Amino acid sequence: MPDEDDLRDLFAAERAPIDIDVHGVIERSRRRRRPKQVVVGAIGAFAIIGVMVVGVQGLPVVQQRALSTQNQGLAPAAAPGPNSASDTTTGGTSAVKRAPAEKINLCEGAVAEPVPNASGLRLDLVFPATAQVGTAPVTGTVRLVNSGPGRITGTTAAQPAITLSQSGIVLWHSAAPANPATAPPVAVDLAPGQSVNYTASFVSVRCAPVDDETQSFRDALPGVPAGDYALTAAIDFAQATPTESLELVTGGPATIALR
């Protein structure tokens, strides 16, 4: 058993130094703190995102879209105009009134193609097969025929508009009456297959665009040369039941030889 002297010597002896790995201790401490830092950073990021979402949701819809578009580097799309999707012929948001029958074909323009009439009306031309060239009117008949399945009632213009053309180009066309009071409308009451006749005429001369700028054509228009030409007719029809617009009635072309 050690005595008092042994114990005194033992405590008096110099203690051996302890070698501490300072870098290792610091690295282990950093590894222990790193998961906590990641968790705290993620929570902070989610909090910031939440604030941004709430801020955007609080904006008006237009500002939200503009902000989203600007973040993508794109310019906002322009809104369509009020009439951008309008249909002028089949019941769109706005309607454009068509030209009257005597203005469907204009001097030196392309001849309009015949169009089917919704009520079943059509025009047939009965003109001589040949006629003399010159300034004298060539007279014929235009027949308004009810080719539909039901009775048709209403009124038409006093006379149909006649067009003289060649190779699809308008050479001459009827003008509107100078005094509409002298050309009252014609009453129409046609059962299926029935027709009504109009007296019509044309002049074998050639007009120019300047003639469509005035009420009547110029005097002494140049005559057309001898050859084969086409005649077409058009007339405005108003149903007995009032509607917003007139119906256009047309018919296939008739050929006439001018000698």
**What would the pLDDT profile of 76-100 be if each residue is shown by its tens digit?**
333 333 322 223 333 343 445 788 9
Q: CA 123, CA 234: separation in Å to the nearest integer?
A: 7
Q: CA 161, CA 249: separation in Å to the nearest integer?
A: 11
Residue 155's pLDDT is what? 96
pLDDT, tens digit, for every residue of 129-171?
999 998 899 999 999 999 999 999 999 999 999 999 999 999 9
Q: CA 113, CA 193: separation in Å to the nearest integer?
A: 24
CATH number of 101-258: 2.60.40.2360
Sheet-wide strand order for 121-126: 121-126, 138-146, 195-202
Residue 238: which of 225, 248, 226, 224 has the closest Cα? 248
Give me the residue spans of the domains in the chain: 21-78, 101-258
- The mean pLDDT value of the chain amounts to 76
**CA neighbours within 13 Å on the CB side: how many for 170?**
25
How would residue 183 be classed by pLDDT, with cut points 50, 70 and 90? confident
This prediction has a pTM of: 0.63
pLDDT, tens digit, for every residue of 52-66?
444 444 444 434 443
Query: Which of 6-15, 21-30, 157-166 shows the highest mean pLDDT?
Result: 157-166
Q: CA 255, CA 130: separation in Å to the nearest integer?
A: 9
Q: Work out the burial of residue 207: count CB atoms within 10 Å of its CB; fewer than 13 is exposed, 13-18 middle, 19 or more buried.
A: buried
pLDDT, tens digit, for every residue of 111-120?
999 999 999 9
